[in-house]
Amino acid sequence: MTNKERGLPPLSKEDLALLKNYVEAITSEAPLTVVGAGAGTGKTWTLAWRFVWTVLTREDVRHMLTLTFTEKAASEMRRRIAALLADLEPA
C-alpha cells in the first residue's frame, strides 16, 4: 500500500534523506551511535531499531547501553523494543 493509499502525504526529498540517515544509523557497524534531531522526527523509532538490529547481528550484546533524556522517553523506548522483538519471534 502506498502513502497515497494510506492517506499520507508523499515523502519529500528531505524526508527521504532523513530516512536514509536513520537507516545508516540503525545498520552502522560503529560501536557508538548518536541520533540527534528535532522533536517528532523519529529518534526513538531509530534507536529502538538500532537496539533490535544490534541484538540480531552481534554475538555479544551484554554490554549494550541505550540512553534517553527523560523517563517518558525511556518508557517509550522499552515499549517499542519489546514490541519489535515480539514481532520478530517465530509464531
Q: Quick: pLDDT tens for 62-86.
A: 778 888 888 988 899 899 889 888 8
Instruction: Choose among 52, 42, 35, 34: nearest CA to 15.
Output: 42
Q: Which long-range contacts (CB under 8 A, 24 or more apart) does 51-54 make?
A: 51/77, 51/81, 52/81, 52/84, 52/85, 52/88, 53/26, 53/27
- pTM confidence score: 0.71
Higher pLDDT, 15 or 30: 30
